[in-house]
Structure 1
Amino acid sequence: MPADYPLGVGDELMIRGTGSIDIDYRAKIDRNGQISIPTIGPVSLAGVKAGDAESVIRNAVATMYKGVTISVNFGKLRAITVYVVGQANRPGTYTVSSLSTLVTTLFASGGPNVNGSMRHLQVKRGGKTVADLDLYAFIAKGDKSADIKLQDGDSIYIPAATGHVALVGKVNTPAIYELRSATDTIESILDIAGGMPIVADPRRAYLERIDASKNQPRSVEQFALNEAGLKRTLKNGDVLNVTSITPDFSNAVILRGNVDQAIRAPFLPGMHVSDLIPNREYLITRNSIKRQNGAVSTGENDKATNEAAGNIASRIGGLIDEINWDYAVVERINRSDLTVSLIPFNLGKVFSDPSSPDNVQLQPGDTVTIFSQQDVAVPMDKRRIFVRVEGEVKVPGVYQMTAGETLQSLLARAGGTTQDAYFFGTAFYREQVRMEQEINLEKAATKLENQLRLEQSKGAANARALSPTDAQAAEAQRLADMQLAKENIVRFRQMKPTGRIAFGLDPAERSFARLPQLKLENGDRLVIAAKPEFVHIFGSVNAEASPMWRSNTRVADYLNMAGLTVDADVENVFIMRTDGSVVARNTSAWAFGGIGGVIVMPGDSIVVPEKFDKETSWTKFTKGTREWAQIFANFGLGAAAVKTLRN
């Protein structure tokens, strides 16, 4: 309870007294402005301030009793009636607490409507205006100097707004603001808007104004927001646009690309590229450092490395992004005509011979870009080449090769092959080939999806010609088939190309000197296999198995051992050779004149597909891609892919 609150009719007091007399009394001020305390009599309190009420009551009690301690608290306070009129959101009569102020009552009534002023909220009392509140000042600055306490019978008048202006661009609070008077300046409105951020350009502001009395009502002015500009008065309908500073660095040069981190460095007179890149270590990228740091675990784990065992060998040689030392470029803007020129230079010579013309002298605004060998491919003879050789060689490992070296060079580095090496099982993998195979596999999957949609359309059209019972059965079968086909497409997408290159080796050849004279590339992998002891049979056979390899045994012999199912498509049997090639039928005859007569080599996989005339989801909608042999050959897929499709 504020100490200066004037008590009035209806206010409730709780009086307690101890001493020569005990008092515990709840009293309400009556219409005469008094309370009546038993054994004491009436006490006048109307108009008495709340802070003085206790002393007034104590003095009244002291006239009758001595040594009495009095305490006074306040209960329910009286209500007052005020009127909210004018451009109010909810005009009307309001009964509010006698402690209510102009602001609290405005919030209770919903404040001004869309046409009402927020800058002239008036309290009228006895025919006079006793308060004029600027709600902007209250909201923006917390100024409550005009927020007076209301009295019974007060009227809150909300006049119409006199005008509005808009602040756009780089101001802290862009919005539409109401003008308080015709003398409001740009400075006063910016003050309410919270001023301008640091990126605002006070040298350029644009004021759009409407003057209906002119032939061309709309006009725009440009001026600086200096002392004179801030004192300009605003008019209803004005739009003030404060621009931002130009994000251009007049004294900077930029380094970007394959570097430790892109920077914007200050330009110094006589500055050259070597000043921007003091040494080669500036060109070690953050990704390179992450790869180096990631090679060793820093926790308490027993593992000595964060990498999986199968990845360590493949990552050797890739700790640092290789720099293109022959080509880097300076981009320079000619500010007179806004053209861009490129100044290429040899980055290697910047470090080996700083006095050479390649150490370009820089100008303010230049951008220096450094490339890796992946950004701009360099000639083969300038690329680093790390190749892995595994299996039946005397010293398997990762070797750094020079440009132009071949498979034979790699085998020589590895000490040659062992006596268990199997020439026909030689496997060679290249990353670029794997990427191309992956793209082609995705194209094939998309083709299968298109065929599936076509089959769905045809099935729905054919169902219309059937009886309701047959149509229902056909639809159920169609949906089941389509679901299974979709699942097979998902499995198809899960197949991972290996990047293997099939050399088409002669099964009878034994000499590794007959390997192709293939030039090596970075990331190549050569696997010299030991001679397998088994042959694998998949597909529509009675028992998928891996029988022992027998010399001079043909496809037909192994299929007789496995047994064919009734759905076996014997005309489309194909062999996945251990050298990565695929052999399919080349004649309509079976037996020894066709693929059945092909001699099987150690490690070969014989695949027996199902007949396509069987009405199943997978076989039905894949009629356009029957040549699975071609798919497996093109994508470098192995026997694991067959299992993926069947499972």
Structure 2
Amino acid sequence: MQNSRNNHNFLLNFFSGYPFSLPLSVRVCLTALSLVFSLFSVQAQVAPSSPGGTTTTTPGAVRSSSTPASTQGVNINNLPASVQQQIRQQGGQAPGTNVRTGRTTAQPTNQPATNNGQPIRTNLNAQGRNLNPSDTTDPGPTTNAEVIENGYEAARRREREETYRKLFGTSIFNDPAMATTFQPNISMATPRNYIVGPGDRLNIRMYGYSESDFSQVISPEGYVYIAKQTGIGPIFVSGLSVEQAKARITSRLATKFVGLRSSSYGPQNTFLEVSLGDIRSIRVTVTGEAVRPGTYTLSSLSTVMNAIYQAGGPNELGSFRKVQLIRNNRVAATLDLYDYLLNGTQHNDLRLQDNDNIRFTTFISRVEITGTVKRNNIFEMLPGETLDRLLFYAGDFAANAYKGLVKVTRLTDRERKVIDVTAPEFKTFVMQDGDLVTVEQLLDRFENQVTIEGAVYRPGQYSLDQNKTLKQLIKTAEGLKGDAFTGRINIVRTREDLAIENITINLANVMAGTSPDVQLQREDQIIIPSRFDLTEQASISVQGEVNQPLEGIPYIMNMTLNDALVRVGGLKESAAASQVEVVRRKKDVDPRSASAQVAEIFRFNINRDLSLNSDENRFVLEPFDQIIVRRSPNYLVQTYANVEGEVILPGSYAIRSKDQKISDLVQLAGGLTPQAYIEGATLVRRVKLSPDELSRQQQSIEELADDTNNKTVVETEALSPDKPESIGINLKRILAKPGSQEDILVQEGDVLRIPKLLETVRLQGEVLLPTTVKYRPGQTFQDYISQAGGFTSKSQRRKAFVVYANGSVDRTRKFMFFNVYPRVEPGSEVVIPKKTTNPLTPQQVLSSTTGIVSSLLTLVTLIIALGRTR
């Protein structure tokens, strides 16, 4: 180990003091070798020192596995997704974690835990979990078995919730928006049959001959006391209806107020009204299979339905058909909630009394109906109710339901079975608990439809019942169009085995009566083609000097040459009216003849007003004729050239003759100004590139951009087929000798630019300080380079060049071992290119690295051998 460490240190010290910088690949290899030596040293330090070099394990330790032990024998894929995720997370536990419990296990020890010599008090549960007495947070499942059980429980809970949502009527009692619907109306008139009791306030009013108002609360013993006002003792009214209480109070008050009754003293002249003021509260108990069973405090005006809503209605086991009102230990009434939910009636919805008990019984039997009915729900059925009654509960069939047969899935003692119930059996087929009724849709086809398409006035679908034959159908479709092709029509027929066959009919014979009429069948499709569908669409084309050249003008019979020219807007001013050609293809050309004529050309001299004065203008065209209007050789468009810069009259000038030259253009512009720099004059001309030239330039730009040395410096512009180019001219020679070879012809769009006297020189590229300096006569190329700080180390001097003010370029030449640089003139631009280096290919890098690594390995082997000999 000591030798390895010494070799490692020697290798680092040796290369760290190497006098020159090493390549990147060499430095990477050295770093890797250093890490290898470090790894060997660490392994030597942590090697076991026990005899035999074996490691000890805790007896009875559980070997970890990728699958938790508690999931053995359970197909995890059948569990809910959330349970699978929890098990897989526990399957990848950290070392030292018990696979069964999912907790970190502590090694058994006989020494108590200490902290600086003081015992530590621990509070552990049976699994070794540290418990905090004040922590009330649910720790959640601790074993995989608990995770699986919780997953199954969650699945069963979701299934129960889904079943409860399907129960018909649950949405009524669990909808917060329906809260006001089931509240008693305390603002209504006093019900005559209302039973008064302790806590109710009675408003008593006498009017007529004697008037007086009393308001008394019924005492807990059931009495009202009006003695203070009338001198009459207490009157017992508890348990009486409002009418009965009024009669009793009237009877007692009549002893003091004789006018309340007709008597020997005279007729009744005083009247009494009794109404409720404050309404008492009662306590009602809801038991059984309710969503929220318990005792409720309600208004004494509440009915059974009010209490049912307060309790949330039946739960998933409760019955909608048998809700009992128990009063004085007897069943006072039984409510069927379907009467209210389906019919709106409230039979046996009695007013509640104190200490009433509303009991929800368990459901009797439930049947689910699905498919094309108006309500897809689970309904509770009473004994003996039939399928017809179930359809009533479900709102009857939907419009697209198949009503002839319904499928019922029924549970037997061992398995399920399917029962087909036909329509006549709906009223006699008795439903059973657990039945599943499925109502299917109508078939997606027509039982009596035929279709007619093509050359009829009203194509579409028609009834077979009123159009049993082909002639009847055509008559219903309002007959054939004039372009109908009656020699051959098709009937596409779908047979009962769904095979499709084609039937060909001669409609002309059928319509004439020489052939029998055709009997149609369901889903027949009659196709009557048009004559235009069977022929090529004829057209003509007009090209050349017309206002709106068109290809593919629909051919019209008897269309003349002038008619076609009118369709395209007439002739242009540049058209040669005497050179109008019509090219007509020849038919039935002999393919074996080498000199066979394939086209015929007609030439016409037409009037520009396209009148009908000559026979030539009445030339009738045929399908696929091509009309060509030539350009007149005498027609020329006026062209212009521009003069910019140092001339007397800059601007745009018309090109008066075909041989007008640059000297003529300068003369038209009034000549040069004294400040004109004649040596810097240039001619800018727009050049139209051919498609091949554009393609070559685009390819060159792409190759330049792909070069790794130019990826960051290449900037390209969108290529245009019409681009300006500068043409280097010698205006001094041109003006000295007009009409000479230097004096080139002017073209349309040319721009002659004559700059002002230039006094600077621009230097760019691989110089130390790219800049613009003043031009000084007599200074050489190298003098100007010196003013920019000289060449950089990356400059390519032998390829330096100068761009002159007139657009011409001069390059550096070689004479023996010396560079001959171009001259520098005012307005010049000196460009020093950059040296280019080709990067190594991957094969070259691999070869170089392999050689370096091989040499390093040899060197390392030698160093290790030398270290062992020490």
Name the TM-score class by shorter chain.
0.5 to 0.7
The aligned amino acid for 1:422 is: A
**Aligned to 1:61, which of 243, 250, 253?**
253
The aligned amino acid for 1:275 is: Q
Instruction: State the Cα distance separating 1:73 from its structure 2 match.
Output: 2.9
Residue 331 (structure 1) aligned with residue 492 (structure 2): yes
The aligned amino acid for 1:332 is: R
Contact 1:17 1:70 in 2 (8 A): yes
The aligned amino acid for 2:407 is: Y
Residue 22 (structure 1) aligned with residue 211 (structure 2): yes
Sequence identity of aligned pairs in percent?
Answer: 24
Alignment of 1:418-433 (within 5 A): 420=573, 422=575
Distance 2:350 2:720 in 1: 92
The aligned amino acid for 2:498 is: L
- Pair 1:414–1:138, CA change in 2 (3 A): closer
Q: Which residue in the other structure is 2:170 paired with?
A: none
Instruction: State the Cα distance separating 1:232 from its structure 2 match.
Output: 2.2
Q: Which residue in the other structure is 1:106 paired with?
A: 308
SS, match of residue 226 in structure 1: helix
Residue 207 (structure 1) aligned with residue 408 (structure 2): yes
Q: Which residue in the other structure is 2:192 paired with?
A: 3
The aligned amino acid for 1:338 is: L
Distance 1:16 1:554 in 2: 127
Instruction: State the Cα distance separating 1:282 from its structure 2 match.
Output: 6.1
Residue 243 (structure 1) aligned with residue 440 (structure 2): yes
- The answer to which of 199-208 and 413-422 deviates more is 413-422
Instruction: State the Cα distance separating 1:358 from its structure 2 match.
Output: 11
Q: Which residue in the other structure is 2:395 paired with?
A: 194
**Aligned to 2:524, which of 366, 369, 373?**
366
The aligned amino acid for 2:406 is: A
Distance 2:493 2:195 in 1: 78
- Pair 1:96–1:511, CA change in 2 (3 A): same
Q: Tell me, which stretches of 5 or more residues in structure 2 are unaligned?
A: 1-189, 260-268, 580-604, 609-615, 642-650, 669-683, 697-703, 723-870
Contact 2:542 2:568 in 1 (8 A): no
Per-residue Cα deviation, 1:219-253 (whole angstroms, up to 9, x for no partner): 112231314x5322222221122334445544442
Distance 1:152 1:361 in 2: 81
The aligned amino acid for 1:263 is: Q
- Pair 1:410–1:95, CA change in 2 (3 A): same
Distance 1:399 1:622 in 2: 41
Distance 1:551 1:585 in 2: 32
Distance 1:588 1:257 in 2: 50
Q: Which residue in the other structure is 1:141 paired with?
A: 343
The aligned amino acid for 1:172 is: K
Alignment of 1:45-444 (within 5 A): 45-65=237-257, 66=259, 67-181=269-383, 183-197=384-398, 199-211=400-412, 213-214=413-414, 217-227=415-425, 229-246=426-443, 248-255=445-452, 260=458, 262-267=460-465, 271-278=468-475, 329-335=490-496, 337-344=497-504, 349=508, 353-355=511-513, 360-369=518-527, 378-380=534-536, 383=537, 401-402=555-556, 408=561, 410-411=563-564, 420=573, 422=575
Distance 1:14 1:159 in 2: 41
Instruction: State the Cα distance separating 1:153 from its structure 2 match.
Output: 0.8
The aligned amino acid for 2:436 is: V
Distance 1:191 1:555 in 2: 103
Q: Which residue in the other structure is 2:235 paired with?
A: 43
Q: Tell me, which stretches of 5 or more residues in structure 1 are unaligned?
A: 285-319, 427-508, 538-544, 562-569, 576-582, 590-611, 630-647
SS, match of residue 382 in structure 2: coil
Instruction: State the Cα distance separating 1:90 from its structure 2 match.
Output: 0.8
Distance 1:379 1:114 in 2: 73
Per-residue Cα deviation, 1:340-362 (whole angstroms, up to 9, x for no partner): 11235577x489x4436697542
Instruction: State the Cα distance separating 1:31 from its structure 2 match.
Output: 1.9
SS, match of residue 63 in structure 1: coil
Per-residue Cα deviation, 1:309-367 (whole angstroms, up to 9, x for no partner): xxxxxxxxxxx9x87878754221211x22111235577x489x443669754223312
Instruction: State the Cα distance separating 1:53 from its structure 2 match.
Output: 4.3
The aligned amino acid for 2:304 is: L
Q: Which residue in the other structure is 1:461 paired with?
A: none
Q: Which residue in the other structure is 1:314 paired with?
A: none
- Pair 1:91–1:388, CA change in 2 (3 A): farther
The aligned amino acid for 2:338 is: Y
SS, match of residue 365 in structure 1: coil
- Pair 1:400–1:365, CA change in 2 (3 A): closer
Alignment of 1:475-490 (within 5 A): none
Distance 1:555 1:36 in 2: 134
Distance 1:116 1:196 in 2: 27
Instruction: State the Cα distance separating 1:92 from its structure 2 match.
Output: 0.8
The aligned amino acid for 1:48 is: L
- Pair 1:32–1:170, CA change in 2 (3 A): same
The aligned amino acid for 1:342 is: N
- Pair 1:158–1:350, CA change in 2 (3 A): farther
Give TM-score scaled by structure 1 length.
Answer: 0.55
The aligned amino acid for 2:440 is: T
SS, match of residue 159 in structure 1: strand
Distance 1:50 1:554 in 2: 126
Per-residue Cα deviation, 1:25-65 (whole angstroms, up to 9, x for no partner): 32211123222234223333223322444444444433223
Instruction: State the Cα distance separating 1:187 from its structure 2 match.
Output: 2.6
Q: Which residue in the other structure is 1:471 paired with?
A: none
SS, match of residue 140 in structure 1: helix
